[in-house]
Structure 1
Amino acid sequence: MLLKGILFSSITILLVGCNQKQDNPKVIPNWSKEESIKMNHAFAAEELEEIEQFLSHRPDWKMTKTGSGLQYFIYLKTDSASTPVPGRQVAVNFTVSLLNGHICYSSKRGEPEFFTVEKSDIESGLHEGIKLMHKGEKAKFILPNHLAHGLIGDLNEIPPLQTIVYDIELIDIK
């Protein structure tokens, strides 16, 4: 009898509890593909404004913009006809910084870094930019976040949704 009483009490509590309205009902947002596109356009417009503001303080940077959004300026040109092609290894010296000037990464002086064009797991904007250079040239690249580390950053030095700036020298092509 005691067990039946406990069981009855437990069922009653469950039924009464389930019939009560919740204080905080969950609201499912009405999100659509169009909303995502609209939000992405807003992020892109804000990022472009930040890049333009950055460049307004650097009038000597004569940037060229590609269809992908990469902006580049080759400030030390050479007479070399040698340009990187996919699958070739390049040696570079570089500094990577944010628009606020914070230096995230740089190669060690006298110790170039190597990567294989379009075969290495690095920023797509860097692959695009390096193919615009000739051996011995130095350039500035501005990579919007979609050509850099995107939504999550690099989980180390580069925060999410950040534009990055490369100051790069193409030392050699192998």
Structure 2
Amino acid sequence: MNKYLIFITILAFGACKSPEARYPVTQKSGSHISESIAKNQELLEKEIALIETAINRDSTREYQSSQDGFWYTYHKKIEDSTDSITPEFGDIVEFDYSISTINDEVIYAEGEKATRTYAIDQEELFSGLRQGLKLMKEGETVTFLFPSYKAFGYYGDKNKIGTNWPIKTKVTLNNITEKEEIQNQQ
């Protein structure tokens, strides 16, 4: 009996020992982060060079640089008037689009993807197109040149668009239904 009491006492005191911090066997300096930054900067520089080459090849159009890191040109532009609005948060837009490589190799032809209905900033859409739609007015057709980080990035679209592909997207904005209009219909 005494043996059991001693064993339980030792076990109880041994279990009350405070936990000790465990340290990693090896420590890394964070150099992989610096390498990743350098690699991504190099990738962006290459993509910008490809985009600039594409812009220079298309001498018939005037491209503009957006604040959001992509380039665009109008095929059909609606001149400013009091009727012309651009979509804002919550508005519903209907648009058609096609996607090609920067070198004009068709990825998704016009009409291959069905007309898309999209609630501005409330649904999933790649970031460049989401920002590009906000620049457009109803009835306009615009070609956007997106570096890969504004398009489908590292993962691609898991179908026809590969890893880190800069793309060219031609978009026609067919209709804008303003948020207030939607609320009044409900």
Q: TM-score range by the shorter chain?
A: 0.7 to 0.9
**Match of residue 170 from structure 1:** 173
**Helix, strand or coil: the match of 2:139?**
coil
Amino acid of the structure 2 residue aligned with 1:98? T
The separation in 2 between residues aligned to 1:61 and 1:118, in whole angstroms, is 29
After superposition, residues 49-60 of structure 1 pair within 5 angstroms as: 49-60=49-60
The separation in 1 between residues aligned to 2:46 and 2:145, in whole angstroms, is 15
The separation in 1 between residues aligned to 2:55 and 2:66, in whole angstroms, is 16
1:112 aligns with 2:115: yes
**Helix, strand or coil: the match of 1:153?**
coil
After superposition, residues 78-117 of structure 1 pair within 5 angstroms as: 78-79=78-79, 80-106=83-109, 108=111, 112-117=115-120
The separation in 2 between residues aligned to 1:172 and 1:156, in whole angstroms, is 28
User: What RMSD over aligned residues (CA atoms) do the two structures have, in Å?
Assistant: 2.1
The separation in 1 between residues aligned to 2:160 and 2:119, in whole angstroms, is 23
The separation in 2 between residues aligned to 1:41 and 1:108, in whole angstroms, is 35
**Match of residue 74 from structure 1:** 74
Pairwise CA distance, 1:34: 1.7
Pairwise CA distance, 1:68: 2.5
**Helix, strand or coil: the match of 1:151?**
coil
The separation in 1 between residues aligned to 2:117 and 2:107, in whole angstroms, is 18
Count of aligned pairs: 146
CA contact (8 A) 1:93 1:106 kept: no
Amino acid of the structure 2 residue aligned with 1:117? I
Question: Structure 1, unaligned stretches of length 5 or more?
Answer: 1-27
Amino acid of the structure 1 residue aligned with 2:154? L
Pairwise CA distance, 1:85: 0.8
The separation in 2 between residues aligned to 1:44 and 1:117, in whole angstroms, is 27
**Helix, strand or coil: the match of 2:154?**
helix
CA contact (8 A) 1:98 1:162 kept: yes
**Helix, strand or coil: the match of 2:103?**
coil
The separation in 2 between residues aligned to 1:93 and 1:56, in whole angstroms, is 26
After superposition, residues 18-33 of structure 1 pair within 5 angstroms as: 31-33=31-33
**Match of residue 156 from structure 2:** 153
Q: After the TM superposition, which parts of structure 1 deviate over 4 Å for at least 4 consecutive aligned residues?
A: none
Q: TM-score, normalised by structure 1?
A: 0.76
The separation in 2 between residues aligned to 1:66 and 1:85, in whole angstroms, is 17
The separation in 2 between residues aligned to 1:33 and 1:154, in whole angstroms, is 26
Q: TM-score, normalised by structure 2?
A: 0.72
Question: Structure 2, unaligned stretches of length 5 or more?
Answer: 1-27, 178-186
1:132 aligns with 2:126: no
Amino acid of the structure 2 residue aligned with 1:45? E
